[in-house]
């Protein structure tokens, strides 16, 4: 299951950065979902390069749904969404075809695909391929929203700057997620975001890049979703999150913070509140034994600094079989966190819809009457 994910809802991804088009096929959507095309555009817009902290490559992400969508509704048959590629500077990559960029996939693609890979712009490894993933995720977010499940992601940390923390209390958290959905900046605090932007710009001026941590929360999940072993909520979401380029770590709840805790500190006691069993704390991020317990899901994802920096780097010449140096040309993001958060939202939504559909069936995806 290489470029296909899922059990009940299957996502098939394809495309190269400088190929004719990139796209996704979604197989297993319920019929009769009135697709919010504007919502898809909105998520694609969040993913896109904008302003002076992103790559100068201008893409419009105009998409076309060529199947599975008729008279405003999903048909229930496979839905194929295509995004033609634009504004490709293929020449940027020819000179460096045999010079693998450090920490990129150039070298490993060569090893795996034996030289036949489309090397331009990172080919199938480019962050561009996350665009159709975001479109598919937007559809899943719509499905979840209609079930009262809301999710959102903020930049928890970037360039040494911490955002405000997510509220613990569920109503406040709900409000924070709504704000993240409405506002254009990808943080809880505009002030902290401004500081992050300055840190990104400083790195950019030096020809360098930064990474950071994205934090995602989901509210409204019922208890009982997920599987004990191989399709636990953590397994499902991490499988998808680690598919996103540049992700190198995923943690749930306290995550690595559990390492220095005692059980008495880490455990989440149960109590009834308004007739519903909740946990007094939520160190487990809403998941016990791989299954949701009804508390908000909390997951953090680390995104490494964008490998494409403008400083000179050491590399090898695969054709001449010798050591050399490389100075990357072209147009690259000094940071991708503010764009990657749309991708993280998307894959989280995809994973959750698949888990729901396994339990409740394909028809669950339809709006409650």
- Which residues in the 175-214 window bind a copy of itself by CB under 8 A? 203, 208-213
Rounded distance between C-alpha atoms, residue 228 and residue 148, angstroms: 24
Quote the least distance from Cβ 221 to a copy of itself, whole Å: 11
State yes or no: residue 109 binds a copy of itself (CB under 8 A): yes
Only segment of 90-98, 135-143, 187-195, 240-248 that touches a copy of itself (CB under 8 A) = 240-248
Stretch that binds a copy of itself, among 37-45, 106-114, 134-142, 181-189 (CB under 8 A): 106-114
Longest dimension (CA), the chain: 71
Site for a copy of itself in 60-89 (CB under 8 A): 64-68, 70, 73-80, 82
DSSP 334: S
Per-residue DSSP letter, 131:
H
Site string for a copy of itself, 273-312 (x = CB under 8 A): --x-x-xx--xxx-xxxxxxxx-----x-xxxxxxxx-x-
Yes or no: say if 186 and 154 are a contact pair by the CB < 8 Å rule.
Answer: yes
306 vs 176: CA distance, rounded Å: 28
DSSP string across 34-56: B--HHHHHHHHHHHS--GGGS-S
Residue 132 sits in the site that holds a copy of itself (CB under 8 A): no
Q: In angstroms, rounded to a whole number, what is the distance separating the alpha carbons of residues 137 and 118? A: 26
Is-contact 223 149, C-beta < 8 A? no
39 binds a copy of itself (CB under 8 A): no
CB of 175 to a copy of itself, least distance (A): 26
31 binds a copy of itself (CB under 8 A): yes
**Least spacing, CB of residue 143 vs a copy of itself, in Å:** 15
Considering the complex, state which of residue 182 and residue 321 has its C-beta at the smaller distance from a copy of itself.
321
Please tell me whether residue 14 binds a copy of itself under the rule CB under 8 A.
Answer: yes
The count of residues interacting with a copy of itself (CB under 8 A) is: 155
Question: Do 75 and 68 meet the contact criterion of CB atoms below 8 Å apart?
Answer: yes
HSE (side-chain half, CA atoms, 13 Å) at 19 = 19
In the list 86, 115, 191, 327, the residue contacting a copy of itself (rule: CB under 8 A) is 115
What residues does 23 pair with on adjacent strands?
A: 14, 82
């Amino acid at each position: 299951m290489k470029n296909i994910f899922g059990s009940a809802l299957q996502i098939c991804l394809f495309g190269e950065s400088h190929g004719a088009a990139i796209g996704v096929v979604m197989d297993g959507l319920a019929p009769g979902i009135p697709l919010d095309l504007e919502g898809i555009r909105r998520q694609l817009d969040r993913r896109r390069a904008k302003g002076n902290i992103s790559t100068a490559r201008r893409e419009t992400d105009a998409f076309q749904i060529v199947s599975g969508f008729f008279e405003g509704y999903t048909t229930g048959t496979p839905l194929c969404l295509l995004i033609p590629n634009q504004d490709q500077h293929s020449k940027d990559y020819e000179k460096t075809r045999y010079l693998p960029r450090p920490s990129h996939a150039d070298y490993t693609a060569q090893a795996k695909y034996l030289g036949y890979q489309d090397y331009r712009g990172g080919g199938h490894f480019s962050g561009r391929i996350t665009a159709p993933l975001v479109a598919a995720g937007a559809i899943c977010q719509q499905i979840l929203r209609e079930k009262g499940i809301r999710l959102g992601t903020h930049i928890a940390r970037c360039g040494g700057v911490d955002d405000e923390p997510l509220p613990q209390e569920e109503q406040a958290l709900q409000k924070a997620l709504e704000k993240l959905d409405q506002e254009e900046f990808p943080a809880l605090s505009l002030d902290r975001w401004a500081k992050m932007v300055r840190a990104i710009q400083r790195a950019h001026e030096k020809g360098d890049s930064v990474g950071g941590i994205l934090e995602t929360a989901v509210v409204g999940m019922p208890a009982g979703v997920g599987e004990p072993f191989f399709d636990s909520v953590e397994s499902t979401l991490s499988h998808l999150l680690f598919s996103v380029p540049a992700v190198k770590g995923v943690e749930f709840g306290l995550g690595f913070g559990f390492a220095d805790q005692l059980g008495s500190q880490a455990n989440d006691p149960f109590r009834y509140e308004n007739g519903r069993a909740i946990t007094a704390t939520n160190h487990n991020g809403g998941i016990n034994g791989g299954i949701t317990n009804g508390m908000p899901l909390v997951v953090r994802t680390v995104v490494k600094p964008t490998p494409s920096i403008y400083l000179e780097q050491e590399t090898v010449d695969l054709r001449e079989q010798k050591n050399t140096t490389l100075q990357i040309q072209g147009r690259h993001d000094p940071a991708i966190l503010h764009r990657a958060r749309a991708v993280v939202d998307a894959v989280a939504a995809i994973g959750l819809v698949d888990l729901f559909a396994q339990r409740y069936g394909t028809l669950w995806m339809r709006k409650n009457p």
